């Protein structure tokens, strides 16, 4: 249009600039905070963690004036039900509901006379600024115990509120170390391995798998999502890979919501490492695979650390044959127990969704909460919190040992085994106690 | 060719945090001095990405240029275009390329409906009213798509691959999007310059009151403009679907970039949108390659702020925009 369409009124232009500028700034800020806290620090938690014990949490829904028998115990599920993380977030929320449904079908909380487990949900949209707000809303709606949030920055904000209110929070998925590190939390627990553990598991397991099967893995290029989760994995890999004689020769980040990974792959192609290690949400890994194919490049070993992409059946299917052979160490479903198949079948039947490793990890978090309620014999948040501290839970479907938490709230037996995409199916290949097939290098 | 190393050059204030910027600059200059082949590859990627960005900004700049309306629903119009081409190709088995004009028609109709129902009644109200109304439209359509199609990402089953020209890889999907962007821009420009309706639209953009005085049906021009702007978003969304997975929320990132491009290039300016798109694309690609992390994004928004401060009318703006 150039010289054809004139904005005749200058003040209109100024209004546009002013209004749009403010709007774009707001949108951008929202995007930045939702996707990327970036600091790798402790999320600005203000240093007042848990000092007051909060309100003591909610007491559950009771019948009778004395509050003797409990009708139901409420789990507040704080996940991204809309926004670009919703595809996985909705599945995770459904997994929590399934855990509750299975318990209710089995008679409810036995130690509470068959009280029902009720799940209420809140949508954090994957935005950090909503993490705390949704938590507050779930608590005011009567949640006795909380879970969430998939995105690490969101979880950082949500757990701060839970801690302040004195209500236990079991993280469904969120990898960043700093969610629990140096925050002095007393009410937050994480069944999954945190970033540092996943990175050390990568360094311990993946080079071993490659080398034991005749491959070479001396150099690596990192491809990570630029938020607290991706940065935490990157930082940990920097520490752990050299211990296994793997040199990092390139690092490149992708922005949340990026439209392609062409530039990043150009950098990786120039460095030509033995392996590219991807640490991204689902979309980032898909973009990586597409850019690699567009540039006709694939390192000898395409691997991932804590990446959601290569444990997601739909993403693997969308990527196609190029996904075959990718090694990804991440939390995984335990293929060696019958319960896994049973839960998977029930989930797909009820929700018409894939039961991915991420969804499975959320299911495990749901079961951890329910088991803690059972052992507490109470709907009181403080009692549930005490039960979580003592919990030893074996009958779960994740590929790791007994779930029990240390003083910081981390699961001391958390594990990120090695998965491999074989025939467009995600399979655990190492360590052997959880392996359903052998790795193909 | 002997390799040139200019890393020995010391820049003022080099050291500490400044290395974050000076080291990449040294590397960039070294690559230029050595005529490194990677530069050509990055140039190609920048051009392709910039073309897509420009395409996403065309409809936004047109609607503002004529109507002074900030259309926040533009992002979700892109998404409707993506889903249209996907539906056409998946359900009817028609080539996704045929889906592109279909998306344009669907979006034109949707644009007219949105305009008549939400924008027209408050067109003369203060500008923030239209902004809020179109933001509401965005949320409604986005939620409707999420309810109908779930938040699961979708993709058009089209494996286009890439061209290799002298060691430079050109992803064909993005190349087609660039060609569509250029073609669309030329077509709309020809429409505005060479048809009666186009001239009426330009006249209305020049002076809405004056247009009424000479007998132009401004109300009709308004909904046609909104429809055409939405159709341009449809074409953009449909083109993006050729090479990228999408979900109901994919439009958000493109919307933010489109605002930056429109302001950078000049409000209401098609060439401005194109050049603005290329600048943003080049910064993302070259910045992404040379700068650590995602520092390139910071540069883009610094440029955005700088434009607002120094040349708020944009590169192609001013009295003639």
Residue B221 in contact with partner chain A when CB distance is under 8 A: no
- What was the pLDDT predicted at B92? 87
> Which has more pLDDT, A169 or A315?
A169
Nearest to B247 by CA among A81, A289, A322: A81
Region of A110 please: left (phi>0), alpha (psi -120 to 50) or beta: alpha
For the question of an ipTM over 0.90, the answer is: no
Least confident piece of the model among A103-107, A353-357, B11-15, B171-175: B11-15
Candidate from B162, B206, B316 with C-beta closest to A8? B206
For the stretch B122-162, pLDDT in tens is: 888 887 888 899 999 999 999 999 889 988 888 888 778 88
Residue B56 in contact with partner chain A when CB distance is under 8 A: no
Task: Specify if A9 maps to a domain.
Answer: no
Q: In chain A, what residues touch B65 (CB-CB under 8 Å)? A: 1, 5-7
pLDDT averaged over every residue in chain B: 86
A-contacting residues in B 4-33 (Cβ below 8 Å): none
> Which has more pLDDT, A252 or A23?
A252
pLDDT (average), residues B41-48: 92
Residue B297 in contact with partner chain A when CB distance is under 8 A: yes
Task: Specify if A382 maps to a domain.
Answer: yes
Task: Specify if A4 maps to a domain.
Answer: no
For the stretch A83-107, pLDDT in tens is: 888 989 999 999 999 999 999 999 9
For the stretch A54-92, pLDDT in tens is: 344 455 444 333 334 688 999 999 999 988 889 899 999
Task: Specify if A157 maps to a domain.
Answer: yes
Measured CA to CA, the distance from residue A260 to residue B57 in angstroms comes to: 18
**Could you tell me whether strands A327-329 and A425-430 are parallel, antiparallel, or unpaired per DSSP bridges?**
unpaired
- Contact across the interface for B313 and A13, Cβ inside 8 Å: yes
Say yes or no: A282 and A426 in one domain.
yes
The answer to whether A417 and A434 have CB atoms below 8 angstroms apart is yes
Q: Examine the pLDDT at A199 and tell me if it is beyond 80.
A: yes
Say yes or no: A106 and A214 in one domain.
no
Residue B288 in contact with partner chain A when CB distance is under 8 A: yes
- Contact across the interface for B285 and A263, Cβ inside 8 Å: yes
For the stretch A276-322, pLDDT in tens is: 999 998 889 999 999 999 999 999 999 999 888 998 888 999 899 99
B174 CB contacts (<8 Å, ≥6 apart)? A260, B48, B49, B51, B52, B243
Say yes or no: A239 and A301 in one domain.
yes
Say yes or no: A186 and A201 in one domain.
no
Candidate from A4, A15, A89 with C-beta closest to B193? A4
Residue A268: which CATH number? 3.40.50.2300
Where in the sequence is the domain holding A74, given as residue range(s)?
70-193+335-390
> Which has more pLDDT, A30 or B198?
B198
Measured CA to CA, the distance from residue B161 to residue A189 in angstroms comes to: 45
- Contact across the interface for B127 and A16, Cβ inside 8 Å: yes
Q: Is the peptide bond before A431 cis (omega within 30 degrees of 0)?
A: yes
| B200/chain A closest Cα distance in angstroms | 11
Say yes or no: A249 and A281 in one domain.
yes
Residue B150 in contact with partner chain A when CB distance is under 8 A: yes
For the stretch A337-372, pLDDT in tens is: 999 999 999 999 999 888 989 999 999 999 999 999
pLDDT (average), residues A171-187: 93
Q: What is the DSSP letter of A149?
A: -
Q: ∠ CA(A18), CA(A20), CA(A25), 5° rounding?
A: 100
Task: Specify if A146 maps to a domain.
Answer: yes
**Interface A-B: count of C-beta contacts within 8 A:** 191
Say yes or no: A423 and A283 in one domain.
yes
pLDDT (average), residues B221-235: 92
Nearest to B202 by CA among A9, A10, A7, A15: A7
Q: In chain B, what residues touch A262 (CB-CB under 8 Å)? A: 45, 48-49, 171, 285
- What was the pLDDT predicted at B318? 55
- Contact across the interface for A7 and B301, Cβ inside 8 Å: no
Say yes or no: A354 and A300 in one domain.
no
pLDDT averaged over every residue in chain A: 85
Token digits of residue A438: 């052998």
- Highest-confidence segment of A52-56, A275-279, B289-293: A275-279
Domains and CATH numbers, chain B: 36-310 (1.10.3470)
Count the helices and strands in chain A (H runs, E runs).
12, 13
Q: In chain A, what residues touch B150 (CB-CB under 8 Å)? A: 87, 90
Measured CA to CA, the distance from residue B245 to residue B120 in angstroms comes to: 34
Task: Specify if A236 maps to a domain.
Answer: yes
Nearest to A161 by CA among A139, A189, A190, A184: A139
State the total domains in chain A. Answer: 2
User: Sorting pLDDT into bands at 50, 70 and 90, what band is B252?
Assistant: confident
Say yes or no: A81 and A103 in one domain.
yes
The answer to whether A169 and A187 have CB atoms below 8 angstroms apart is yes
Say yes or no: A422 and A292 in one domain.
yes
The answer to whether B33 and B6 have CB atoms below 8 angstroms apart is yes
Q: In chain B, what residues touch A260 (CB-CB under 8 Å)? A: 49, 171, 174, 243-244
Say yes or no: A130 and A230 in one domain.
no
pLDDT (average), residues A37-41: 32
Measured CA to CA, the distance from residue B110 to residue B119 in angstroms comes to: 13
Q: Examine the pLDDT at A154 and tell me if it is beyond 60.
A: yes
Q: What is the DSSP letter of A406?
A: -
Q: In this prediction, what percent of chain A has a pLDDT beyond 90?
A: 73
Candidate from A15, A31, A260 with C-beta closest to B256? A31
Task: Specify if A3 maps to a domain.
Answer: no
Say yes or no: A172 and A221 in one domain.
no
Q: Examine the pLDDT at A45 and tell me if it is beyond 90.
A: no
- Contact across the interface for B171 and A9, Cβ inside 8 Å: no
Say yes or no: A131 and A268 in one domain.
no
Task: Specify if A2 maps to a domain.
Answer: no
């Amino acid at each position: 249009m150039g010289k054809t369409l004139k904005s005749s009124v200058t003040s209109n232009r100024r209004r546009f600039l002013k209004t749009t500028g403010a709007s774009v700034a707001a949108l951008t800020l929202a995007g930045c905070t939702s996707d990327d806290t970036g600091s790798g620090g402790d999320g600005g938690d203000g240093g007042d963690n848990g000092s007051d014990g909060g309100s003591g949490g909610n007491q559950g829904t009771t019948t009778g004036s004395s509050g003797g028998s409990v009708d139901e115990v409420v789990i507040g599920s704080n996940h991204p039900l809309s926004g670009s993380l919703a595809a996985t977030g909705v599945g995770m929320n459904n997994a929590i509901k399934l855990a509750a449904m299975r318990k209710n079908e089995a008679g409810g909380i036995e130690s509470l006379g068959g009280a029902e487990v009720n799940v209420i949900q809140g949508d954090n949209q994957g935005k950090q600024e909503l993490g705390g707000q949704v938590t507050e809303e779930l608590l005011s709606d009567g949640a006795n115990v909380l879970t969430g949030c998939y995105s690490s920055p969101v979880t950082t904000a949500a757990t701060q509120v839970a801690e302040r209110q004195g209500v236990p929070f079991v993280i469904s998925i969120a990898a960043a170390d700093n969610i629990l590190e140096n925050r002095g939390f007393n009410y937050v627990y994480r069944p999954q391995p945190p970033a540092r553990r996943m990175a050390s598991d990568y360094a311990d397991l993946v080079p071993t798998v490659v080398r034991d099967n005749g491959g070479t893995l001396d150099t690596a290029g990192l491809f990570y999502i630029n938020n607290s989760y991706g940065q935490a994995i990157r930082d940990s890999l920097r520490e752990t890979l050299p211990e296994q004689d793997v040199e990092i020769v390139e690092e490149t980040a992708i922005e949340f919501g990026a439209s392609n990974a062409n530039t990043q792959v150009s950098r990786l192609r120039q460095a030509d490492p033995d392996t590219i290690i991807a640490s991204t949400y689902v979309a980032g890994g898909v973009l990586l695979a597409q850019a690699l194919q567009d540039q006709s490049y694939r390192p000898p070993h395409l691997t991932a650390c804590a990446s959601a992409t290569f444990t997601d059946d739909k993403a693997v299917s969308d990527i196609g044959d190029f996904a075959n052979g990718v090694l990804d160490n991440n939390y995984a479903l335990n293929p060696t127990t019958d319960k896994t198949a049973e839960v998977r079948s029930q989930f797909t039947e009820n929700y018409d969704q894939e039961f991915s490793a991420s969804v499975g990890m959320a299911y495990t978090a749901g079961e951890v909460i329910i088991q803690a309620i059972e052992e507490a014999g109470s709907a009181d948040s403080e009692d549930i919190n005490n039960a979580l501290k003592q919990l030893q839970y074996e009958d779960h479907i994740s590929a790791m040992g007994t779930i029990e938490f240390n003083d910081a709230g981390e699961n001391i037996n958390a594990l990120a085994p090695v998965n491999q995409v074989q025939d467009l199916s995600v399979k655990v290949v190492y360590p052997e106690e959880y392996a359903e097939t052998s790795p193909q290098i | 060719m002997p390799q040139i190393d200019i890393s020995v050059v010391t820049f003022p204030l080099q050291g500490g945090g400044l290395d974050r910027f000076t080291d990449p600059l040294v590397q960039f200059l070294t690559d230029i001095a050595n005529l490194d082949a990677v530069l050509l590859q990055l140039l190609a990627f920048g051009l392709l990405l910039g073309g897509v960005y420009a395409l996403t900004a065309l409809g936004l700049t047109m609607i503002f240029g004529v109507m002074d309306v900030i259309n926040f629903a533009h992002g979700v119009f892109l998404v409707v275009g993506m889903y249209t081409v996907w539906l056409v190709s998946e359900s009817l088995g028609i080539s996704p390329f045929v889906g592109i004009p279909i998306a344009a028609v669907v979006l034109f109709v949707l644009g007219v409906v949105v305009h008549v129902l939400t924008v027209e009644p408050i067109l003369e109200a203060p500008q923030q009213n239209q902004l809020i109304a179109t933001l509401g439209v965005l949320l409604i359509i986005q939620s409707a798509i999420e309810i109908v199609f779930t938040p699961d990402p979708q993709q058009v089953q089209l494996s286009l691959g890439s061209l290799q020209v002298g060691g430079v890889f050109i992803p064909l999907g993005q190349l087609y999007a660039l060609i569509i962007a250029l073609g669309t821009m030329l077509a709309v420009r020809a429409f505005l310059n060479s048809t009666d309706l186009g001239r009426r639209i330009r006249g209305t953009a020049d002076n809405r009151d004056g247009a009424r005085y000479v007998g132009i049906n401004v109300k009709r021009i308004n909904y046609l403009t909104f429809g055409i702007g939405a159709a341009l978003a449809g074409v953009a969304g449909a083109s993006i679907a050729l090479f990228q997975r999408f979900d109901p929320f994919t439009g958000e990132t493109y919307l933010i970039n489109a605002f930056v491009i429109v302001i950078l290039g000049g409000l209401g300016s098609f060439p401005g949108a194109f050049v603005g798109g290329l600048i943003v694309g080049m910064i993302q690609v070259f910045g992404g390659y040379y700068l650590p992390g995602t520092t390139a994004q910071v540069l883009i928004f610094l440029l955005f702020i700088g434009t607002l401060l120094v040349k708020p009318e944009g590169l192609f703006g001013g009295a003639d925009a």
